[in-house]
Amino acid sequence: MHRRRFIAASAVALSAAAAPLPLASAAHAGRRLPTRYVVSDKPGVLPEGIGITPDGTIYVTGSGNGDLYRGHVTRDRLHPFASGGSERPFAAGVHPDRRGWIFVAARATLDVHGRDGRLLARRTGSSGPVGETFLNDLVVTRDAVYVTDSTNAVLWRAALRGHRLGSLERWLDLRSLVPGMPAQYFFLNGIDATPDGRALIVASQGLESLIRVDVTTRTASLIDLGGTSFGPDGLVLRGNHVYAVLNYAAPDGQGVYVARLNDDLTTGKIIAGVVDPAFDSPTTLALHDRRVYVVNSQFDHAPGTPPYTVVTVPDPLR
């Protein structure tokens, strides 16, 4: 989810978790929720990734320090949850799953944390044909984790078998599959999957487009959006709608845009957009209870000025 920028389990230093979080989404039904969340007041955090569990627990990564922060939609402040330490100075995509694991894409590694913040696993990808691996964003399906690479036109995959995570492998090279793929710096960013895990939607800022990947046949093609520039950073797929953060070449400015795709996820058009003065170099988003949670990275004027925040806007389709 880095916006056109390049910059076996081991123990890591853990920060004390916040007080116990509310466990049920019913606990905040009908309540007035914050519209702005403070990730951190410390300099240099540069938040980037976000994931929200069904019960409203929020996880946000710090690309400036590799740390992971945790909070809840009912509270306006997040707290340190797991430190990247010296072994992980950068963290981007984050995805909490139904096992209670929190997956983090960290440029050189794919890390997995438990509910208590402990590092459960670390998988490393080798260098690609252009340069060092830049693991950026990820999605977790029932049987695998898929990770985008922002240096190489590659999707990485680690198999999931129950509570076992396989090695991280170069699963699909898009250079021979997608017409016009640049010779280098492909800027593969956001990724999501259909509920059955048979198709992936991948953002390419290098092509300013979306790519559909068929997992079974291991084929890929550009999604036809009628010639519209649509190169998201982070994205979320809901049904046949792609919610995406565009932070360059956006039709009406940096913001959240929604593309409606056909049933095969092969063609579509942009149908809605939200540009808000509260956005500050937005990188990605999460959806929860009819609201869109947007990460303000401050990349455009890094290292930015604390506090670093997540802000919300109403779901433009609700």
pLDDT digits (tens, 9 = 90+) for 94-138: 999 999 999 999 999 999 999 999 999 999 987 655 568 999 999
- Nearest alpha-carbon partner for 51 in 129, 90, 125, 104: 104
- The helix or strand, by DSSP H or E, that contains position 69, with its residue range, turns out to be strand 68-72
Condensed to tens digits (0 to 9), the pLDDT of residues 168-202 reads 999 999 988 988 877 666 689 999 999 999 999 99
Cα angle for residues 204, 296, 38 (degrees, 5° grid): 145
Q: What is the pLDDT of residue 55?
A: 97
Please identify, in words, the CATH class of the domain defined by 34-314.
mainly beta
Give me the residue spans of the domains in the chain. Answer: 34-314
Q: Per-residue pLDDT tens for 8-55?
A: 333 233 233 334 444 444 556 667 999 999 999 999 999 999 999 999
Euclidean distance between CA atoms 176 and 26, whole angstroms? 48
d(CA 295, CA 191) in angstroms, rounded, equals: 16
Report the C-alpha gap between 157 and 168 in whole angstroms.
6
CA angle 99/101/107 to nearest 5° reads: 145
Confidence (pLDDT) at 2: 52
Radius of gyration of the chain measured on its C-alpha atoms: 18
| CB-neighbour burial class of residue 76 (10 A; exposed 0-12, middle 13-18, buried 19+) | middle
Query: Whole-angstrom Cα distance, residue 232 to residue 243?
Result: 9
- Beta carbons within 10 angstroms of residue 86's beta carbon: 9
pLDDT at residue 218 tops 50: yes
Percent helix / strand / coil, the chain, rounded to 5: 5, 45, 50
pTM above 0.95, yes or no: no
- Kindly report the backbone phi and psi dihedral angles of residue 50, in degrees, each rounded to the nearest multiple of 5, phi listed first: -145, 145
